[in-house]
A and B are shown apart, each in its own frame.
Chain A
Amino acid sequence: MGKSFLKNHPTMLVFLALLALFTLAITVFSEAYGSGLVSTSFVKTLGKTLCLCLVAIAMDVIWGYAGILSLGHFAFFGLGGYMIGMWLMYERTKEVVLRSLENQTIPPTETEISDAIATQIFGVVGSSDFPLIWSFAHSLTLQLILVVAVPGILALIFGWLAFRSRVTGVYLSILTQAMTLALALYLFQNDSGLRGNNGLSGLQNLPHVTAPQSEISMWFLWASAAALGFGYVFFTMMLSGKFGMVVKGIRDNEQRVRFLGYEVEHYKLFLFTVTAIVAAVAGALYYPQAGIINPAEIMPIASIYLAVWVAIGGRGRLYGAVIGAAFVSLLSTWFTGGQAPDIPLGFYTISWVDWWQVLLGVSFVLVTLYAPKGIGGLFDLLKRKEVQK
C-alpha cells in the first residue's frame, strides 16, 4: 500500500483536500471562530449534510459496489441517532433535575433523582419508570458502544437470515423495506421505551458544556467532516484490493463468483454489517445537530431517499454518493425551506414547498432512465474529452 495506494486513488486525495478546504473555509467564516459570514443554523445544515454524505457512501458501497439495494440503511442511521440520543437526553435531564433539586433543604436520594429524571423523560408517554433498554444511558462509553453494537447486531442477524436463504435483488429490497417499516412501527409505540412518536428531543444541548451553540455546531461540523474523511478513506482502502474485486464480481454475476469458490454470503454479510455500522455512526453525529429524532425519520421513505441521492450522484463511485447526497439534500432544504422563489403562472402559482417533491420524483425518474450514471457521469464525459484531446 502506502505510496502506490495514494497514487492509485487520486480522486480520494482530491476529495480529502476539498473536504479539508471546505471545513477550513467554514471555520474561517463561522460565527464562533471567524468572521460570522456563515450563520450557526447554516453551519448546522452543513454539518448534517456531511453526515448524510457519510451514510450515502455507505449506501453506495452496499448498492453501487455490491449491488444490494438496501432500503434499510437509514434505519441503521436512525438507530445510531437513538443510541446517542439516549445518553444526551439522560445526562441533560439529569443536569436539569439536579439543578432544580439543589435548593431543597434536604439533599435528594439517588432514587429520588432517578425517579425525577424518568418522570421528566417519560412523562409524555404516561410512564415514570426507566425501561430496561435505558440501563446504560448514564454512561457515554457504553452508549457509544451501543451506537455501533445495536445496528451492527441487527444488520448481522437480518443479513444472515436474508443472505443465507439467498434472497436477492428486488426481493431483498422489499425485505429490507419491511424490516425498516417494522422497526419504525415498533418505535412509534408509546411503550417501546423510546418515547413513541415524540422521539428524543433537546439533543442539541450537550450536557456539562456551557459553550454557545455556535461553538458546539462547529465542533460537530469538524467531527462530521473527520468522520466523512475517515469513512471515505476506509471504504476506498477496503474496496481497492482483491476484496473490492470480489465485491464487484458479486454485483455483476453472483453465481459466477460463487462457482469460483468464494463464500458470497460472507462477503455480503460483512459489507452489509460494516455499512450499517458506518450509517449508525453517521446518525450518531447527525442527530445531535438536528436536535430531535423520532420514528417518522426512519420510515422506509427515508431509506428510499438515500437511494435517490446515491442514484442521482452516481452509483459505484464514492464521490458520486457524496455529491448526490450533498446536492439533493441541500437543494431539498433550499426548496422546502421556502427560500426558492415561487413561479407565478398567472392562473396558478407554483410554490416550491408543495412542488419540490414532484420535481424530485420526476427528476429521479429521468435520471434513472436517461442518466444511469448520475451526476458522476459528467466526470466521465470530461475525462473522455481530455483523452480525445
Chain B
Amino acid sequence: MKRLFFACLAVLAWASVGHAEGPLQDILQEHRALIEKPSRKTISPAIDDIAASGLDQAQRMLQAWEAKNLWQRTEDGLFYIGTTSGDALTLIDVDTGEELPETDKSAADQLKPNAGVRRLISSALVQFQLSDPNETRRLEALESIARRPEESHLAPLQASIEGEENRAIRARKERLVKLLSIAFADTPQAQIEAIEGVSGDLNLEVRAALNPLLATTRKVSDVIPAGENVAHVMRLGEDISRDEAYAALVEAGYATKRLTPAAIKDILAANIVDGQVGGVPVADLDTPEARDEAYRALAAAGTVPPFVSAEEVDEKLRTHVIYDAYNEPNGDVTKAAQSALKAIDLNVGLNQAADLGLDALSLASIYFLAAIGLAITFGVMGVINMAHGEFIMMGAYTGYVVQQVIPNHTLSLVVALPLAFVITFAAGVAMERLVIRKLYHRPLETLLATFGISIALQQLAKNIFGTQARPLTAPGWLDGAWVLNDVVSISYIRIAIFVLALCFLFLFLFIMKKTRLGLETRAVTQNPRMASSMGINPDKVNMLTFGLGSGIAGIAGVAIGLFAKVTSELGNDYIVQSFMTVVVGGVGNIWGTLAGAAMIGTLQKGIEWLNPSNTLAAQTFMIIFIIIFIQFRPRGIVALKGRAAGD
C-alpha cells in the first residue's frame, strides 16, 4: 500500500517536475547534504532511512554506494548509479533501474564514502541479504555475521527469522541471534537468558562469544571501589610474585620505581670517587648488602634517585590491593557466563576424554600392528628377532618404491601391500634358514645374531635410500578426518589402521586355529620331536611360520609408513615398544598382545595428556611403568598356564 502510494507520488512528481524522481531519490534528496559529505558519525540517519524504506531498489543502491558506484549529477544534484567505460559514463536511475543516455564523466561527481561509512552501509545491507531469495546468499550473510559479529546485526537478524522457510538456515539464524544477544542484548536479563540458552554447547563459536564477557583488566587500588565487578583479588606469593605486584603498583602510579640490581650496579660504577662509592671501598662491593649500603649513602647525599628499601616495598604492598576486574560491569552476567563456561568445560572435558580414548585406540592399533608379526615369531615360536623393526622398515620402503613406479596412490597401495608381504616373507625365510635355524635353543645368541642383521639392514637401507625421510603418501580418500564435533575427531588414516589391525587379528586367529599350518605350528612349538614323529616337518613349519610373521611385519610397515616418516631408522622406533607389547601382554597369546597394545597405547596417551608438551617424557614414564608392571605380572597380562607355559 505504502509502495503504491509512493509510486503514485513518483508518477505525480514525474508529471509535475518533468524529470526522474522516485521514492528512493526523494529519501536521498532529503539527506542530500549528509550523503554529499558523509562521515561515520553523521551518516547513520540517512542509511537508516534508506534501509527502513523497505524499497527493493534500496539494496541495489546501497550496494552501489558501498562499491563507490554512486554518482551525483552536477546539474540538478540527483543521485544515480553509474558505470564508466573510459571517459563515458552511463547513469542508471536509482528507482527504476532505467539507463540514461551515455554522458561524459564531468557531468557527475562520484561519491567516495570512507571505510567507516562503507562499514555502516554494509551492515545495513545485511538485512537485505538475510531475506534474499537466494539461499546461498543468505548463508553467506550469516557466515559473515558469525565471523564479525556487530551490535547492528542483531535487530535485522531477529527480524529475518520470521520469514525464514529453510529450516537449517532458520536454526542457524536462531543460533546466531543467541550468540549476538550474549554480547549485545539491550538488557542484562536478555543477556543472561541467552547465556543460559547455550550452556554446555560444545561449539567453538559459543566459547568465542562467552569469553569476551569474562575478559578482565588488572587494577590496583587502596580499596576496591564499590560497583566494581571483581573477578579475583590477587594474593601475594600465590597468584602474583612480590616483584610483579610491586611493578603493578609502580605502573599504576602508587609507588616509585625500584631500581634493579643491575641498574644499582651501573649507578654505583658511575659514582666511584677515589676508589670508594658512598664511603664503601669498591673492592667490598661484592655482596648485595654492601651495594645497598653504598647506594643508600649516595641517595642520602642526593646524587641519585632515592632508594626504595625492602620494608617500603612491603608497606606499599600491604596497603594496596591488586585485583582483576571484569570489563563487563554487571555481576550477574559474568556469573551466568562463568557457570555456562563451566558447564561447557565439563562437556568439553568429557568429549576430550572420548577423543583421548580414540587417540589411545589408534595408537594401540599401531602398536598392535607393529607387534603382531612379533607375536608370531617371538610369541609363538619363541625366536627373538631384533631385526623385526627392520622388516617393518623394509615394508615401508617397499611402499615408497612402488609409489615411485605407480603414481596412482590407491593402486600403488593395493600393489604395495602384497608385495611388501612377499618381500619380507622371503627375507624372513632366508633369515630363518641361514641364521636362526642354527641357533634354536640359544635365545641370547639369536638375539645377538639378529642384532647383527638389524645393524646391517639399517645401514644397507641408509646406503640405498639416503638418510633423509622418504614420503609415502596416503591416497586422497584417506586424507581428512572424521569430525564428530568441535572436540572429537579422528583422521581416516587412523581408522584405516585400526581396521587393518582388526583384520590382522582375525587373520592370525584364523591361521592359528583353522589352518593346517597353524595346527602344525602349534604342534611344533609344543613338542618338536613328537610333532616330527607325527609326520610334520618341523624345519619347514618353522620356516613358514617365521616367514609369515616377517611378512605381516612388512605389511605393517606399509601402514606405518603412511603416517610416519620413512627412514632407515623407522624400525628402531618400534622395536622396543613391540617387544614390550608382546612381553606385557603375555608371550604366546594373541589376546595378550592385543591387551598389551591396548595398555601401552592408553598409557602413553594418558601420560601425554597429563603432560602434553612432552612426548619424550611420556615414553620414558611408560617404559618405567612397564618395568614396574612386570614386577607384578612377570608373565604378562594374559599368562599361559600349565604345560603351554613351557619351560
Q: Is B52 an interface residue (CB 8 A)?
A: no
CB 8 Å contact bits of A169-207 with B (1 = contact, 0 = none): 111011101110111011011010000000000000000
- A105 B463 Cβ-Cβ under 8 A: no
**Can you list 12 pairs linking A and B with CB atoms under 8 Å apart?**
A106-B265, A107-B283, A110-B286, A165-B631, A165-B634, A178-B623, A188-B616, A300-B576, A301-B455, A356-B459, A368-B452, A369-B438
Given A106-B265, A106-B268, also A364-B459 (CB < 8 A): no
Q: Is B384 an interface residue (CB 8 A)?
A: yes
Q: Which of A181, A357, A363, A368 contacts B576 (CB 8 A)?
A: A181
Which chain B residues border A191 with CB–CB below 8 Å? Answer: 614
Given A107-B282, A361-B453, A369-B435, also A185-B619 (CB < 8 A): yes
Q: Which residues of B contact A (CB under 8 A)?
A: 261, 265, 268-269, 272, 282-283, 285-288, 291, 384, 435, 438-439, 443-445, 447-449, 451-460, 462-463, 572, 576, 579-580, 583, 614, 616-617, 619-620, 623-624, 626-628, 630-632, 634
Which chain A residues border B288 with CB–CB below 8 Å? Answer: 109, 111
B261, B439, B451, B579 interface centre (most CB from chain A within 10 Å)? B451
- A364 B460 Cβ-Cβ under 8 A: no
B455, B460, B576 interface centre (most CB from chain A within 10 Å)? B455
Which chain A residues border B448 with CB–CB below 8 Å? Answer: 69, 307-308, 311, 364, 368
Cα A14 to Cα B435 with chains together (Å): 37
Given A169-B444, A300-B576, also A357-B459 (CB < 8 A): yes
Nearest chain A residue, comparing its CB with the CB of B626: A178
A-B pairs with lowest CB-CB distance, top 5:
A361-B456, A364-B452, A357-B459, A361-B455, A182-B623
CB 8 Å contact bits of A60-94 with B (1 = contact, 0 = none): 00000001010000000000000000000000000
Instruction: Name A148-173 residues within 8 Å CB distance of B.
Output: 158, 161-162, 164-167, 169-171, 173
Which chain A residues border B623 with CB–CB below 8 Å? Answer: 178-179, 181-182, 185
- B451 A308 Cβ-Cβ under 8 A: yes
Which chain A residues border B457 with CB–CB below 8 Å? Answer: 361
Cα A178 to Cα B628 with chains together (Å): 12
Q: Which of B269, B452, B619 contacts A365 (CB 8 A)?
A: B452
- B614 A106 Cβ-Cβ under 8 A: no
Instruction: Return A355 CB to nearest CB of chain B, in Å.
Output: 7
Q: Is A377 an interface residue (CB 8 A)?
A: no
Q: Is A362 an interface residue (CB 8 A)?
A: yes
- A158 B614 Cβ-Cβ under 8 A: no
Cα A186 to Cα B616 with chains together (Å): 7
Cα A358 to Cα B454 with chains together (Å): 9
Which chain B residues border A162 with CB–CB below 8 Å? Answer: 627
Nearest chain B residue, comparing its CB with the CB of A171: B583
- B626 A369 Cβ-Cβ under 8 A: no
Cα A326 to Cα B448 with chains together (Å): 19
Q: Which of B291, B452, B632 contacts A308 (CB 8 A)?
A: B452
Q: Which residues of A contact B (CB under 8 A)?
A: 67, 69, 104-112, 158, 161-162, 164-167, 169-171, 173-175, 177-179, 181-183, 185-186, 188-189, 191, 300-301, 304, 307-308, 311, 354-358, 360-365, 368-369, 372
Cα A250 to Cα B439 with chains together (Å): 21
Which chain A residues border B628 with CB–CB below 8 Å? Answer: 161
Cα A361 to Cα B580 with chains together (Å): 24
Q: Which of B269, B435, B443, B459 contacts A106 (CB 8 A)?
A: B269
Which chain B residues border A181 with CB–CB below 8 Å? Answer: 576, 619, 623
- A357 B634 Cβ-Cβ under 8 A: no
By DSSP majority rule, is chain B's interface helix, strand, loop, or mixed?
A: helix
Cα A356 to Cα B460 with chains together (Å): 10
Q: A368-B445, A368-B448 are in contact. List 14 more A-B contacts (CB 8 A).
A: A69-B448, A112-B261, A170-B444, A179-B627, A181-B619, A185-B617, A186-B616, A307-B451, A308-B451, A357-B456, A361-B451, A364-B455, A369-B435, A369-B449
Cα A372 to Cα B459 with chains together (Å): 24
- B630 A358 Cβ-Cβ under 8 A: no
Q: Which of B445, B452, B456, B630 contacts A175 (CB 8 A)?
A: B630
Cα A171 to Cα B646 with chains together (Å): 15
Which chain A residues border B447 with CB–CB below 8 Å? Answer: 69, 170, 173
- B580 A107 Cβ-Cβ under 8 A: no
Which chain A residues border B456 with CB–CB below 8 Å? Answer: 357-358, 360-362, 365
Which chain B residues border A178 with CB–CB below 8 Å? Answer: 576, 579-580, 623, 626-627
- B617 A166 Cβ-Cβ under 8 A: no
Cα A107 to Cα B281 with chains together (Å): 11
Nearest chain A residue, comparing its CB with the CB of B386: A304
Which chain A residues border B632 with CB–CB below 8 Å? Answer: 165
Instruction: Return A172 CB to nearest CB of chain B, in Å.
Output: 10
- B630 A167 Cβ-Cβ under 8 A: yes
- A358 B460 Cβ-Cβ under 8 A: yes
Nearest chain B residue, comparing its CB with the CB of A299: B572
Given A185-B620, A354-B462, also A361-B631 (CB < 8 A): no
Instruction: Return A329 CB to nearest CB of chain B, in Å.
Output: 15
Cα A171 to Cα B631 with chains together (Å): 12
Cα A357 to Cα B261 with chains together (Å): 57
Cα A337 to Cα B460 with chains together (Å): 19
Given A178-B580, A188-B616, A354-B463, also A109-B291 (CB < 8 A): yes
Which chain A residues border B619 with CB–CB below 8 Å? Answer: 181-182, 185
- A69 B616 Cβ-Cβ under 8 A: no
Which chain B residues border A300 with CB–CB below 8 Å? Answer: 576
Which chain B residues border A360 with CB–CB below 8 Å? Answer: 452, 455-456
Given A105-B269, A109-B286, A358-B459, also A189-B634 (CB < 8 A): no
Instruction: Return B329 CB to nearest CB of chain A, in Å.
Output: 41
Given A165-B634, A361-B455, A365-B449, also A182-B282 (CB < 8 A): no
Cα A179 to Cα B628 with chains together (Å): 11
Cα A178 to Cα B443 with chains together (Å): 18
Which chain A residues border B282 with CB–CB below 8 Å? Answer: 105-107
Cα A155 to Cα B447 with chains together (Å): 22
Which chain A residues border B265 with CB–CB below 8 Å? Answer: 106
Cα A158 to Cα B627 with chains together (Å): 9
Which chain A residues border B453 with CB–CB below 8 Å? Answer: 361, 365
B443, B448, B460 interface centre (most CB from chain A within 10 Å)? B448
Given A161-B627, A169-B444, A311-B448, also A108-B286 (CB < 8 A): yes
A105, A179, A358, A361 interface centre (most CB from chain B within 10 Å)? A361
Given A107-B283, A178-B623, A308-B451, also A365-B435 (CB < 8 A): yes
Which chain A residues border B634 with CB–CB below 8 Å? Answer: 165-167
Q: Which of B261, B287, B451, B614 contacts A364 (CB 8 A)?
A: B451
Cα A186 to Cα B618 with chains together (Å): 9
Cα A161 to Cα B616 with chains together (Å): 23
Which chain B residues border A107 with CB–CB below 8 Å? Answer: 282-283, 285-286
- A189 B576 Cβ-Cβ under 8 A: no
Instruction: Return B261 CB to nearest CB of chain A, in Å.
Output: 8
Which chain A residues border B435 with CB–CB below 8 Å? Answer: 365, 369
- A173 B449 Cβ-Cβ under 8 A: no
Cα A195 to Cα B83 with chains together (Å): 68
Instruction: Return A188 CB to nearest CB of chain B, in Å.
Output: 5
Given A178-B626, A358-B456, also A164-B631 (CB < 8 A): yes
A162, A173, A355 interface centre (most CB from chain B within 10 Å)? A173
Cα A260 to Cα B447 with chains together (Å): 30
Nearest chain A residue, comparing its CB with the CB of B569: A301
Given A358-B459, A360-B455, also A165-B624 (CB < 8 A): no
Which chain A residues border B269 with CB–CB below 8 Å? Answer: 104-106
Instruction: Return A56 CB to nearest CB of chain B, in Å.
Output: 15
- B627 A355 Cβ-Cβ under 8 A: no
Which chain B residues border A188 with CB–CB below 8 Å? Answer: 616
- A177 B286 Cβ-Cβ under 8 A: no
Cα A174 to Cα B576 with chains together (Å): 7
B443, B459, B632 interface centre (most CB from chain A within 10 Å)? B459
- B287 A189 Cβ-Cβ under 8 A: no
Nearest chain A residue, comparing its CB with the CB of B387: A361
B384, B452, B632 interface centre (most CB from chain A within 10 Å)? B452
Nearest chain A residue, comparing its CB with the CB of B383: A170
